[in-house]
Amino acid sequence: MGNTAEEFLVASEEKAFEADHRRIINNSIDKYENAFEKGLSRMINLDNSKKKGHVIKWKVMENLDKFLPEFESNFLKRGGKVIWANDAEEANREILNIIQKAGAKTVIKSKSMATEEIHLNEFLEKNHIESIESDLGEYILQLLGQKPYHIVTPAMHLSKEDIARLFNQKFGTPLDLTPEQLTQKARELLREKYLQADVGITGANFLIADTGSISISENEGNGRLTTTFPKIQIAVVGIEKIIPSITDLDLFWPMLATHGTGQNITVYNTILSGPRQPNETDGPEEMYVVLLDNGRTSLLAQKEQRQGLYCIRCGACLNVCPVYQNIGGHTYETTYSGPIGSVITPHMRGMEEFKHLSYASSLCGKCTEVCPVKIDIHKMLLLNRRDAVNDGLVATKEKWGWAAWKKAMLKRSLTDFFSGKTKNFFMKLFFKKSWGAQREMPQVSAKSFSQQWKEGNRPE
């Protein structure tokens, strides 16, 4: 077991028994579940919509080499510029080149998991570029020096009291401010940043091939401000975000909103097709789209698991996952946590270091059930486990243990050789630590089932 896996186990056990964390998360998840159920109740023929979404994303992944150049061609026609980035280092370098060429010193960002993935904020800071998050949740985490806890609601793990204390420490505001007052304070601080920023950086929910556009969905309006005020806009987008046509948004927008937050539709849905045109009054003078690979083609090469790339980042699988609900988002030490993160991270960042995430699941199947594009998530986790074993990424003790178990299970005489008392001794000796200090070890019966059966069915 590697260091990452060991750290994960330690952090998981610690977080699972942290009462305050559990209280905050349960409260947040309860609110989500109520909104989610209401949202689903408004959808007609939900299963058909999921199947349609699955087929569209299947078509895209099987023809990515056609749809991406189509997007690029149409985007270039409108005056935009496309940068293909193989990895995080290349993406960061290209973004820095754009900023330095323009002589820019300040950047305003809207919420983007792709920029979190490449650690853009830290990179810009090292290069003396001020980068400010404009999404309220992301802004709070930036002040705390933390990473997003959740794909959709990055500050889910914080209570209003936590945020009030933070604002009191940073800005001297009263400790009894309401959530509305805290939001107003953040708005006052951030509005000035929009006006000062030289460059705006966003992500995108979808890349639209037939129009050469990006689609951004958000609830606060900061994405629109980020793409309107600065003279230069940069969108960092994973190559899997492509959809064939603008008409596909009538499916994906409601599905994303309903599964993400329980809304009928997200408050702000913006389609951007390049920099400001001669007849337009606002928008950036220059617009770039950075098409990010960063391990995605490694997952694409896995025929059985490539459907992990169908994900539209709604976060629904995180919200229903019993493991995520107990150990939280930060424990995973990845940009994409929860079930979908456990599927894609081992392929994007290395199976040897992150294979343990595929075991962090009860395989209850709830994640697969709620997925809006019908990704067979729990099956993908099993396939990852299989690949880890086939690639020899298993500890020697584990190999020996399973070999002994298999031999005993295939031969009844070996299974019955040791008494129940002896079996219980070995269970405590070898599994007490891994089973967990918080659990009682199961008790093996004094006699095996076959022994009891023989004794109970002896001829009289």
The C-alpha atoms of residue 343 and residue 378 are separated, in whole angstroms, by 9
Looking at the domain assignment, is residue 425 inside a domain?
A: yes
Domain C-terminal end among 247, 277, 294: 294
Phi-psi region of 65 (alpha: psi -120 to 50; beta: other; left: phi over 0): alpha
Q: Please state whether beta strands 81-85 and 286-292 pair in parallel, antiparallel, or not at all (unpaired).
A: parallel
The residues of the chain scoring below 50 in pLDDT are 1-2
Same domain? For 128 and 239 the reply is yes
Domains: count for the chain:
2
Looking at the domain assignment, is residue 220 inside a domain?
A: yes
Looking at the domain assignment, is residue 372 inside a domain?
A: no
Roughly how many angstroms between the first and final C-alpha of the chain, as a whole number? 54
Same domain? For 66 and 192 the reply is yes
Q: For 118, what's the count of Cα atoms within 13 Å in the CB-facing half-sphere?
A: 28
Segment (H or E) for 269: strand 268-272
Burial of 333 (0-12, 13-18, 19+ CB in 10 A): middle
The C-alpha atoms of residue 275 and residue 232 are separated, in whole angstroms, by 8
Same domain? For 278 and 414 the reply is no
Looking at the domain assignment, is residue 351 inside a domain?
A: no
Amino acid at 396: T
The predicted pLDDT at position 326 comes to 94
Looking at the domain assignment, is residue 234 inside a domain?
A: yes
Same domain? For 71 and 205 the reply is yes
Domain C-terminal end among 237, 266, 294: 294
Q: What interhelical angle do 249-261 and 46-62 show, nearest 10?
A: 120
Residue pair 145/123 in contact (Cβ under 8 Å)? The answer is: no
Segments forming the whole domain that contains residue 426: 396-456
Same domain? For 287 and 421 the reply is no
Looking at the domain assignment, is residue 212 inside a domain?
A: yes
Looking at the domain assignment, is residue 23 inside a domain?
A: no
Tell me the CATH number at 229: 3.40.50.10420
Domain C-terminal end among 294, 322, 355: 294
Amino acid at 372: P
Same domain? For 70 and 196 the reply is yes
Residue pair 223/202 in contact (Cβ under 8 Å)? The answer is: yes
Residue with tokens 């209280």: 23
Can you spell out the DSSP letters for 270-302?
A: EEE-SS--TT-SSS-SEEEEEEE-TTHHHHHT-
Looking at the domain assignment, is residue 216 inside a domain?
A: yes
**Of the candidates 376, 111, 344, 354, the residue with the CA atom closest to the CA atom of residue 217:** 111
Same domain? For 49 and 173 the reply is yes
